[in-house]
Chain A
Amino acid sequence: MAKFQLSRRKFLTAASLGASGLMLSGCDAFDSHLGMGDGLRSFLEGANDLTHRAQRLLTRDALAPEFSEADIRQPMRPNGVTAPDDATYKALLSNNFADWRLEVTGLVEKPLSLSLDQLHAMPARTQITRHDCVEGWSCIAKWTGTPLSLVLDQAVAKPQARYVVFHCLDTIDRNQSGDVKYYGSIDLIDARHPQTILAYGLNGKPLPVENGAPLRARVERQLGYKMPKYLVKIELVSSFAAMGGGRGGYWEDYGYDWYGGI
């Protein structure tokens, strides 16, 4: 009996020591090594390139799952900017986007300026897909729009073009250098993917303001932050290093990975 009691006392002492050890994990110890540009962080970010390459190698032209009408059980959840406060945008909106144009510029043979009617007149694709937000939620909705590949075919990309940069009308941030407009970029593989569309329709109706009217990108094999809303210009570039924070997008400049396939 005595031995058992000794062993139990030892056990309880040890158990409480172990439990207090668990509470000691003060994790601000790592904060200072994980800032943007820090060497350790850059090293860890290398894993995202690995993910990007592995997923490119394996997925190739695979299509994102598409769903049925019965799977649409709720309105599409809007996120980020849902009512742009910019004068330019409000003016365009007041005229129902009749004066809005999508500029296609940069490394293209034939720069374009497309009206909403012109986009409507092009072949359209409708797809019911699941929108996955980087925050963790998902929402299924039906999107209708012009395949980006058709627009790129019209504009004819120059050989040195590597990325498609989406420029937006909405101001998402204000800093010392003025208004920061949302922007983002994808590579030409995703840009030419059959499900990558410039969407003007949502759930059978014109795209509402909160979801990006008049036009937003759908890049179905990546997360929501890779699908900019309120599009005004598409620019083909060989590098986005000189743009914004140099990381290829508004959220990327704040530390999100450029490749949002995971």
Chain B
Amino acid sequence: MDAAVHDRSPQVEQAPSKGPLVYRQSRWTRLTHWIWAFTLFFMLLSGLQIFNARPQLYIGQESGFSYDNTVFQIGAMNTENGPRGFTRIFGHTFDTTGVLGWSGPPGQERARAFPSWATIPSYYDLGTARVVHFFFAWVLSATLLVWLVAGLLNGHIARDLWPRMKDFRRLPGDIAAHLRLKFHHAREYNALQKLAYGGVLFILLPLVIVTGLAMSPSVDSLLPWLNEVLGGRQTARTIHFTVMVLLVLFFIVHMLMILAAGPINELRSIVTGWYRTDPPGSDGERSP
């Protein structure tokens, strides 16, 4: 049963609808979570500004000017109906006027890959975006390191995130429950949560840092194999961008899940650490 539904029917079953409060999120989890939320917001918007300086992604070491190795492009072109914005993915072109390629207030539209409202600064300024991006890159990396050390020492990673056999057995059931918007409220993460959080923390964030470093010509002199492993500097840049898209998708799903599972309870657990679980005996209860 969904606890959120019970909250809406106070005259019946109010008491049994509430399970015990459990201490779910350690202070390290809560602190690093909010630093990342803040940091990734600035990294995303400054990163889109940096992308605007060269709104094209390539495969390989270099960018093809005399040949075509472009896999993604945002641009503007003149048509019979005036300038239009377009987005081209693997040769498939989509009209994205108003958002990607050609955007701005009515009468002041301009050629611009990502629109003004999605970039820091809002006007075109590559130098400033790089200042913002690289500052938060240090914050992101340091926070990930702190989280990793804390998570290994306090057992959070081994206990809460590392997938076990039972998680794989529960996966089909969890998917079915999520599709029916039925959420269990337990101290432990369900299989989909482990996959999503683990994927972000162990794959996406390390990969976005590594591909970011691979674009640095100085790092490239220190670790020349890095770009070879990644498929070349421009491929590293393409992966960097792709990971960004995946992180944004994670964020959207993360927000929807919180809203669907009961935003007050979810927010309480990531602010105070305390989480209201399903009442004992409900079908949402989990054996520990």
Contact digits for A15-49, partner B, Cβ 8 Å, 1 yes 0 no: 10110001001111011001000000100111110
* Complex interface residues of chain A between 244 and 262 (CB less than 8 A to chain B): 251, 254-257, 261-262
The interface residues of chain A lying within 8 Å CB-to-CB of B64 are 73-74
Contact digits for B108-141, partner A, Cβ 8 Å, 1 yes 0 no: 0000000011111111011110111011011000
Asked if A256 contacts B130 (CB within 8 A), the reply is: yes
Cβ contact of B66, chosen from A17, A44, A65, A74, cutoff 8 A: A74
The interface residues of chain B lying within 8 Å CB-to-CB of A69 are none
- With A55-B219, A137-B63 known as contacts, the answer to whether A47 contacts B127 (CB < 8 A) is no
Number of interface residues of A (CB under 8 A): 61
- With A74-B65, A257-B127 known as contacts, the answer to whether A135 contacts B53 (CB < 8 A) is yes
Interface centre among A22, A47, A75, A136 (most CB of B within 10 A): A136
Asked if B190 CB lies within 8 Å of chain A CBs, one says no
The interface residues of chain A lying within 8 Å CB-to-CB of B215 are 132, 262
Asked if B119 contacts A27 (CB within 8 A), the reply is: yes
Interface centre among B135, B216, B221 (most CB of A within 10 A): B221
**Binding-face segment, B24-32, B90-98, B168-176, B252-260:** B252-260
Asked if B181 CB lies within 8 Å of chain A CBs, one says yes
Asked if A138 contacts B127 (CB within 8 A), the reply is: no
**A71–B62 alpha-carbon span in the complex (Å):** 9
The interface residues of chain B lying within 8 Å CB-to-CB of A22 are 252, 255
Asked if B218 CB lies within 8 Å of chain A CBs, one says yes
With both chains docked as a complex, state the minimum distance between the C-beta of B172 and any C-beta of chain A, in angstroms: 20
Asked if B4 CB lies within 8 Å of chain A CBs, one says yes
Cβ contact of B131, chosen from A3, A8, A45, A73, cutoff 8 A: A45
Asked if A59 contacts B218 (CB within 8 A), the reply is: yes
* Complex interface residues of chain B between 206 and 227 (CB less than 8 A to chain A): 215-222, 224, 227
Asked if A160 CB lies within 8 Å of chain B CBs, one says no
The interface residues of chain A lying within 8 Å CB-to-CB of B180 are 4
Asked if B131 contacts A257 (CB within 8 A), the reply is: yes
Asked if B127 contacts A256 (CB within 8 A), the reply is: yes
Asked if A255 contacts B127 (CB within 8 A), the reply is: yes
**Binding-face segment, A95-103, A220-228, A233-241:** A220-228
Interface centre among A6, A22, A140, A262 (most CB of B within 10 A): A262
- With A11-B260, A74-B66, A138-B233 known as contacts, the answer to whether A30 contacts B216 (CB < 8 A) is no
With both chains docked as a complex, state the minimum distance between the C-beta of A262 and any C-beta of chain B, in angstroms: 4
Asked if A254 contacts B127 (CB within 8 A), the reply is: yes
Asked if B135 contacts A14 (CB within 8 A), the reply is: no
Asked if B53 contacts A65 (CB within 8 A), the reply is: no
**A75–B58 alpha-carbon span in the complex (Å):** 17
Asked if A51 contacts B181 (CB within 8 A), the reply is: no
Cβ contact of B122, chosen from A31, A130, A132, A223, cutoff 8 A: A31
The interface residues of chain B lying within 8 Å CB-to-CB of A48 are 131, 134
With both chains docked as a complex, state the minimum distance between the C-beta of B93 and any C-beta of chain A, in angstroms: 21
Asked if B217 contacts A75 (CB within 8 A), the reply is: no
With both chains docked as a complex, state the minimum distance between the C-beta of B260 and any C-beta of chain A, in angstroms: 5
Could you list some 5 contacts between A and B, CB below 8 A?
A6-B8, A27-B119, A59-B218, A137-B62, A138-B233
Pairs of residues from A and B, 3 with the lowest C-beta to C-beta distance, nearest first: A261-B218, A136-B54, A14-B259
Interface residues of A (CB under 8 A from B): 3-4, 6-8, 10-11, 14-15, 17-18, 22, 25-28, 30-31, 34, 41, 44-48, 50-51, 55, 58-59, 62-65, 67, 71, 73-75, 77, 130, 132-140, 220-223, 251, 254-257, 261-262
